[in-house]
Amino acid sequence: MGHVNERAQEAFKTLLSRYSEDTYFYLARNYLGKLQSPFHKPQLTTKLCQLFSQESMVQKTLSMLDSFDQVILSLLATFGSLTVEQITSLLKGTFSYGNLLRRVGNLQERMILLSDAGRLVFNPLLEDQLLQYCSLRPLCGEEEHHCVEAPYCSTEFLRGFFSLVAKEGKCIYHEGISQHFPTYERDRLKEMYQALGEYLTEMGVLVRDARRCTLDWQKAEALLSLSDYQLLCLLLSRNLEGTAPLEFANALLSTLQTLGGCDTTALKLLIKGFCLRYQVAYTATLLNELSTWGVLTLDENWQVSAISGIQERTALLIDSDQTISYQGNCPAGDILYRFAYLEVLDHQRTYHITKESMLGAFDSSLDYPTIKEYLETNSARGMNMSLLKQFEMLSERYQNITIYDGMVLSCDQRTANLIHNLPSLSEHRLVTLSPTIFIMRRDSEDIWRQVLKHAGQLVGATKSFDRIEILEKKELPILRDRIGKAKTLSQFTPLACHPLKPVAKAFLDESLRQAIAKADLSKAEREDLEHRFQSRTILLPSQIVPQVLNPILEAGGFDYQGKVSLCKQAAGKKDILLELQLPDQELIVQALELAFTPQKEALLKAAVMPSMEVKILPVSKLFLIRLVRFHFA
């Protein structure tokens, strides 16, 4: 098969070369037939590689895929390489434990999955073709869903939130808040509002003291430079611990967008699966987080909100009652929310300019010329000159008084010359009141004192301790880092909902069955071949040779010796499990050892999977014992 590239072949060989002798020869014998000693492993590996590179072999392997295989393959395609334990853990709600172990083992026997240091990966020689059978539906249910137009924590919501915090000087949810966000369901809004308040405080975007809450506009701007999608990723990754929380959020969000909706089982599967993939610690609160930020809404099933945020903001409609409205999403750097208060966030976003909103903007260093230019540039139908005049007058009035928070420095002419001319001093000067009287910065008192001393001035030794408490701006490298990462986040490409190729009903090649029946074989050899044929590991006539790879696989009823023999065979082997049928239950165990009572009764000491609880079981009480080869490595 020409298109199988060398890299895939090399990868196949490398993986196979790491297998234990037992496993390796088990597989080699199955696919290559009887092996002649002395064994030349590299040659055998090359033969296996050639075999699985043949188009006919590939097609035969693929034709035998069934819907259960598809679930496991889709799981690996979505969440990357997984251990057997991880697979059984992820799917335990949907399939029985024993069944899962058998099927995962079977996929390894069929060399569809290979083990890579204990984690299962696609056979590199088949990977491209296998991926075509993978999709989200086998994992998340066959029911069709579509994303719904539902409100979520968007950048537009964030703008409105900032505007309201600036207006109220606090970020506490109250009933009046819901009037501003009529599309948001009240309880959800309350949750979102509070969570946002907490998170933004942690991030230092909101600065709170006992009396009021203010905004660090620079950080707010940084957050608003994100797209809706990136913002949600950032919010979802808020409480996650691990190596790649943002990537986790990206994968989860993107997959949910593709699905449009799912039930709780599927949702938990996705969360847990991506937690494994991105090494993020799973927390049960993640489901709540998805709901809090508006990504999901529960309506029988979970409905996913369509995250768009790409519709550009229309030009502003500025009415004489000082309302400003638009549709769509403001671009990064849009300043409307800084000088106007949110009225309503709906299809039409409406803000209102008031004296207080303008003064707030001036306080946050947004000057009138900037506001004027913004309004003139963005107004849909020309700017109302009367309104501009009003704002201009307000600005003039605002500038009539300036309050400095600083320290008065009165000095002689010589020192004044230094302050005027020495850049290292003048940068700490807020204003010059007279040629020898200055207001110096309070927060850099230590520095300018040092500079003065250094310049040879006698500076009073007592520092000003009567400081006004200045709210410390938190500098959080994590915030910068996360916003930076979120900004460069490109959307994860999830599997499609439906596979490119559907699995047909797996069929067994009757000609092979007949060949086995006609072959000159002992009973044991025939039984073993029959078993392997049923397990879909006999694909070619060349595999039908007289040999026994699995001496006994099952013993039950009055075949006490058979049962004892199986227990002996499995004892101490980590790649073999025993499936036990007791009067009232079925157990999957790892056989630890077999012991006998003085009355010669065989007792099996076994660890019950997956809890690994150790039990002593009399073999005579076991109706049926079945040997399961589950781990190939």
Partner 1 sequence: MMQDTPLIVQSDKTLLLDVHHEQSEACRNDLVRFCELIKSPEHMHTYALSAISLWNASSCGVDVSFILSRLDYWSKFPVPESVRFYIEDMATRWGKVVLSSSDDPSYYELWVESERIRTELLNRQAIAKLLIVKDESRFLLAAYNRGEIKLQLIKIGYPVDDRIPLNHGPLVPVSLRDTTLGGKPFTVRPYQKQAADALLGDLGPGSGFGTIVLPCGSGKTVVGLHIMERLTTKTLIVTTNVAAVHQWINEILDKTTLKKDQVGEYTGEKKESKEVIVCTYQVLTYRPDKDGPFPHLELLTKGNWGLIIYDEVHMLPAPVFKVTAELQAVYRVGLTATLVREDGREDEVFSLVGPKRFDVPWNELQQQGFIAEAYCHEVRIDLPKEQEIPYAIGTKREKYRIASENKRKLEVVQALVDRHPDDFILIIGQYLDQLKNIADHFGLPIITGSTPNIKREALYRDFREGRQRILVVSKVANFAIDLPDASVAIQVSGTFGSRSEEAQRLGRILRPKNRSSFFYSVVTRYSSEEEFAANRQKFLAEQGYSYEIEVWDT
Q: Give me the residues that bind partner 1 (CB under 8 A), please.
A: 149, 179, 182-183, 317-323, 325, 327, 344, 346-348, 355, 380-381, 384-387, 389-390, 393, 397
How far is residue 263's CA from residue 97's CA, in Å, rounded to a whole number?
21
Whole-angstrom distance, CA of residue 376 vs CA of residue 511 = 82
- CB of 393 vs partner 1, minimal distance in Å: 7
CA-to-CA distance for 587 and 573, rounded, in angstroms? 17
Burial class (CB in 10 A: 0-12, 13-18, 19+), 370: middle
As measured in angstroms, the least distance from the Cβ of 346 to partner 1 is 4
Pick the closer one to partner 1 by CB: 374 or 560: 374
Instruction: Give the Cα separation of 293 and 193 in Å (integer).
Output: 9
C-alpha torsion sign, points 441, 446, 447, 451: positive
When the beta carbons of 215 and 387 are compared against partner 1, the nearer one is 387
| Type of residue found at 605 | K
Rounded to a whole number of angstroms, the minimum distance from the CB of residue 319 to partner 1 is 4
Cα–Cα distance measured from residue 102 to residue 156, given in angstroms and rounded to the nearest whole number: 51
Assess contact for 231 and 223: CB atoms under 8 A.
Answer: yes
Place of tokens 């390489």: 81
CB 351 → partner 1: shortest distance, Å?
Answer: 13
Instruction: Give the whole-angstrom CA distance, residue 219 versus residue 622.
Output: 67
Residue 45 or 329: which CB sits closer to partner 1? Answer: 329
In the complex, the smallest distance separating the C-beta of residue 606 from partner 1, rounded to whole angstroms, is 58
CA atoms within 13 A on the CB side of 126: 29
Give whichever of 387 and 409 is closer to partner 1, judged by the CB atom: 387
d(CA 266, CA 368): 53
Query: Which CB, 198 or 299, lies closer to partner 1?
Result: 299
Question: Measured from the CB atom, is 319 or 363 closer to partner 1?
Answer: 319
* Residue 368 Cβ vs partner 1, minimum distance, rounded to whole Å: 15
**273-276: long-range contacts, CB 8 A cutoff, minimum separation 24:** 273/75, 273/78, 273/79, 273/90, 274/79, 274/248, 275/242, 275/248, 276/79, 276/80, 276/82, 276/86, 276/90
Closer residue to partner 1 (CB): 117 or 393 = 393
Nearer to partner 1, 77 or 340 (CB): 340
Phi/psi of residue 508, each to 5°? -100, 140
- Closest approach, Cβ 145 to partner 1, in A, equals 18
Place of tokens 């012991």: 595
- Cβ proximity to partner 1, 323 vs 424, nearer residue: 323
Cα separations (Å) of 538 from 478, 518, 627?
56, 15, 19
Which residue, chain included where needed, has tokens 């928070």?
405
Q: Minimal distance in Å, beta carbon 192 to partner 1?
A: 16
Q: How far is the CB of 321 from partner 1 (least distance, A)?
A: 4
Question: Cβ of residue 401: shortest distance to partner 1, in angstroms?
Answer: 11
The CA distance from 233 to 222, in Å, is 15
Kindly state the smallest distance separating residue 380's Cβ from partner 1, in Å.
8
Q: Which is nearer to partner 1, 388 or 552 (CB)?
A: 388
**Cα torsion angle, 191, 194, 197, 199, sign:** negative
Closest CB to partner 1 among residues 270, 324: 324
